[in-house]
Amino acid sequence: LVNQVVSQLVQAIRSRDSSFSTIERRSAGSYYEHVKISEPNEFDIMLVMPVQRLQLDECDDTGAYFYLTFKRKPRENYLLKFLDEEKKLSAFKMIDSLRDIIKREVRNIRSVEVTVERKKAGSPAITLQIRNPPADISVDIILTLEVQQSWPRSTQNGLKIEPWLGRKVRRQFRYKPLYLVAKQNKKEKVPRGNTWRISFSHIEKAMMNNHGSSKKCCEADGPRCCRKGCLKLMKYLLERLKMKHKKELEKFCSYHVKTAFFHMCVSYPNDTDWSLGNLDSCFQRYLTYFLNCLQHSQLPHFFIPQYNLLSLVDRTSSNFLSRQINYQWNNGFPIFQE
């Protein structure tokens, strides 16, 4: 159902506006990394646009958010209309333009009922709801720029996967293009909608799907590990707690536990550290690490070590989540039985 809707939209977007004629569809997120929990009712689809010769200027101290300008007159003349008065590429203008095309096109979809959700402030996604009783399916469409140039300096000391996946794999990853998504930087006093955030979803997907230190880990004829099992349990725990305590835990998202998971894969790089029969002790080891991050309000971004993902989460929320996790752990995780 999702593929059918997205294919029709992609065709329409390409033909309606020459600015978007080069977009390609890429899948991202948990469903495609095979770590989706609960129902298959949420999908992330990236609409990737190749762009040449961009200049990236950091717009804060995280090393994750950038202003984009063209180094010289771009080959892609059609992008000039998306520049703001300071000649910066405006994420806001591009998303608005894309949203308009999508809103017009969903009216032409006859096979299923599709609606476009109202804008969420600061969200890089255009969210569709597909009617599919008994539950709707939510599809996040994320405009992504793909730039073939070296990664920014802030990433230099990140992606420390040598002990786990090896030096060669790290080198291969760092030659992959740079992805930039239209994400509003929350630290800006006056949001002007012209900031972009680096995305490593293509690298994360590759790490998830080839997660073993031995090449055969979790393949049909190879030994199985519990890495993904641990991540799914952790995501489920956070999801259930967020459903119970919406307000207190609104600052947390699955990306926090996914980042902690990657750090754990590096700390325990061998497949034998994650043998399938040890799911309970591996999960507890992962929980201990995550609780430690909460206690110190410190969780470095896996690719940009200077960027602390918990810097925007207040101490009260971190303490609240710690207490909830400890309560679940001490009582045999009653939330898993509910």
Whether 175 and 230 share a structural domain? no
pTM of the predicted model as reported, rounded to 2 decimal places: 0.91
Residue 212 domain flag: no
Whether 231 and 135 share a structural domain? no
Residue 35 domain flag: yes
Whether 159 and 195 share a structural domain? yes
Q: Half-sphere exposure of residue 198, counting CA atoms within 13 Å on the CB side?
A: 28
**End-to-end Cα distance, the chain:** 30
Q: Is the pLDDT of residue 221 over 90?
A: no
What share of residues in the chain are helix, strand, coil (percent, to 5)?
45, 20, 40
pLDDT at 65: 93
- Out of 13-17, 18-22, 131-135, 178-182, the most confident range is 178-182
Rounded CA separation 233/260 (Å): 13
Whether 59 and 142 share a structural domain? yes
Q: Nearest-CA neighbor of 49 among 26, 65, 72?
A: 26
Whether 130 and 276 share a structural domain? no
Residue 268 domain flag: yes
pLDDT at 101: 92
Rounded CA separation 20/13 (Å): 6
Whether 54 and 191 share a structural domain? yes
pLDDT tens for residues 164-214? 999 999 999 999 999 999 877 766 655 567 889 999 999 998 999 889 988
pLDDT at 331: 96
Q: Nearest-CA neighbor of 213 among 223, 198, 202, 199?
A: 223
Segments forming the whole domain that contains residue 268:
219-336
Over residues 124-149, mean pLDDT: 88
Residue 316 domain flag: yes
Whether 285 and 199 share a structural domain? no
Task: List helix spans (H) across 175-226.
Answer: 201-209
Over residues 263-291, mean pLDDT: 96
Whether 52 and 162 share a structural domain? yes
pLDDT at 184: 75
Q: What is the mean pLDDT of the chain?
A: 89
Q: Residue 119's pLDDT band (boundaries 50, 70, 90)?
A: confident
Q: Nearest-CA neighbor of 30 among 261, 302, 268?
A: 261
Spatial contact of 151 and 178, defined as CB atoms under 8 Å apart: yes
Q: Is the pLDDT of residue 79 over 80?
A: yes
CATH number at residue 320: 1.10.1410.40
Residue 214 domain flag: no
pLDDT at 30: 60
